Amino acid sequence: MTKSELIEKLSIEHEYLNKRDAESVVNLIFDGIGDALSQGDRVEIRGFGSFSVREREAREARNPKSGELVQIPNRKTPFFKTGKELRERVDR
């Protein structure tokens, strides 16, 4: 499902929301999750899962084209862990 499909479904299931309002709601949720993660916070949505930030250590890698060693600095990456209810729902 794409973001536009999510907006479409939200506007269909809730007839009092037009597409513009549904898009605002979806953007507000995604922006809120992104803002929280950028501040180092954890976001938990019960029954769905949790978003957090993990720090990856600096490491050496090899450029596949030239074969030379490249230094990759440590960085932060978003991480999603599914909730129990979502795992069970997908597993059915």
- pTM beyond 0.85: the answer is no
Long-range contacts from 41-48, C-beta under 8 angstroms, 24+ separation: 45/83, 46/83, 47/83, 47/85, 47/86, 48/82, 48/83, 48/85, 48/86
Fold of 3-91: HU Protein; Chain A (4.10.520)
pLDDT digits (tens, 9 = 90+) for 23-55: 999 999 999 999 999 999 999 999 999 999 999
pLDDT interval class at 85 (50, 70, 90): very high
pLDDT digits (tens, 9 = 90+) for 13-30: 998 999 999 999 999 999
Quote the pLDDT of residue 86: 94
